[in-house]
Chain A
Amino acid sequence: MGISLFYGNQVELYKILSNIRKLFGKNIKKEDLFYIYEQTIIPFSFDKVKKQINIENKLPIKISKLDINILNKIESNPRFETYKLSEELKINPATLKKHIRELESKKIILNYGMIVDYHKLGFFWNICILNNQLGKNIDGVIGYLLKDRKITFVSKTIGDAIIFDYITESQDSLNEFLDKTLDNFSETIISYKILNVSNVKKIKEVY
């Protein structure tokens, strides 16, 4: 099982982790934490990869309560209607548009996309973790992964591991891809792990 957690500080993180441990108790045999340092998202495409969205590790930007409310509303509804949303937020549509433009220009809002149900398309969805030699430059590996259109995100972690997904019609092609990647970067990659995604559940995202 894999969980992506967003947290404000270490105390908050440990509280969440401790609740998960209580929930699963002795059933948890091992817990591995990967702190994300940077992430690139590549929108899924049947054609060729056209766009890359970089979630850069930046210092926090102070934003208003209204901006936070806007983000909470649009996070899972990027196809909102300005008129309806402005009514919900009790502001006028022009103010809403202005705030959204500002959030975009400050690069707080990076893109409006969607998560595809890959299983319904007949694809397998895998999460892969590459453990790398500490201190080795991993940018070459990341650049290599970003060229593959079967990948929709690549995350760089503190500790130089790389997490990415791989969407494929057969598990054999994932194994072939990993073998090739390991051959190309044999001096950098130490080991890898694969997690087959069978179900995705989003619990909560409130800023």
Chain B
Amino acid sequence: MTNIKLNKKDKEIMSLLSENSQINIRDVSEKLKISKQAIFKKIKKIDKNFVMKYTTIINYFTLGLSNVFVFYQIQGLKREELKH
């Protein structure tokens, strides 16, 4: 957990980004009634500290792909070794 705190506006921006990462800064600025510069700063803070990655959600079925979740029960390896 990071020490950086999120205030109400940060949380609102984060929820909006999660719903649509292509959000228009001007629209958010009007909606939340804060300046565009402040929004930029807040997005930068969110990006740096709380975003694992941005992603485009694609319907992989339409590309002829399938998805399988595989769960492994692994013994004799440390957590760090699994990361690689």
Residues of A within 8 A of B (CB): 1-8, 13, 17, 20, 24, 26-36, 39, 41, 43-47, 50-51, 53, 55-61, 63, 71, 74-79, 106-117, 119-122, 129, 155, 157, 163, 193, 195, 198-202, 207
How close is B39's CB to chain A, nearest CB, in angstroms?
14
Question: Which of B50, B67, B73, B83 counts the most chain A CB atoms within 10 A?
Answer: B67
Q: Once the chains are docked, how many angstroms separate the CA of A1 from the CA of B79?
A: 9
Please report the total number of B residues contacting A with Cβ < 8 Å: 45
B38: Cβ under 8 A from any A Cβ: no
Interface SS of chain B: helix, strand, loop or mixed? Answer: mixed
How close is B47's CB to chain A, nearest CB, in angstroms?
9
A30, A110, A114: the one within 8 Å of B21 (CB): A114
B66, B70, B75: the one within 8 Å of A29 (CB): B75
How close is B66's CB to chain A, nearest CB, in angstroms?
6
**CB pair A74 B56 closer than 8 Å:** yes
How close is B67's CB to chain A, nearest CB, in angstroms?
4
**Contact (A24, B18) CB under 8 Å given A1-B82, A36-B68:** no
**Contact (A4, B62) CB under 8 Å given A44-B18, A113-B54, A198-B79:** no
**Contact (A5, B59) CB under 8 Å given A44-B18, A60-B64, A117-B52:** no
**Contact (A108, B51) CB under 8 Å given A43-B19, A71-B58, A114-B18:** no
B2, B58, B77: the one within 8 Å of A109 (CB): B58
How close is B84's CB to chain A, nearest CB, in angstroms?
9
**Contact (A79, B54) CB under 8 Å given A112-B22, A120-B2:** yes
**CB pair B63 A207 closer than 8 Å:** yes
Q: Once the chains are docked, how many angstroms separate the CA of A13 from the CA of B69?
A: 11
A33, A47, A50, A57: the one within 8 Å of B70 (CB): A33
Q: Once the chains are docked, how many angstroms separate the CA of A43 from the CA of B57?
A: 11
Residue of A nearest to B2 (CB): A120
**CB pair B51 A113 closer than 8 Å:** no
How close is A59's CB to chain B, nearest CB, in angstroms?
8
**CB pair B59 A108 closer than 8 Å:** yes
**CB pair B14 A46 closer than 8 Å:** yes
**CB pair B54 A1 closer than 8 Å:** no
**CB pair B1 A122 closer than 8 Å:** yes
Chain B residues within an 8 Å CB radius of A56: 59, 61
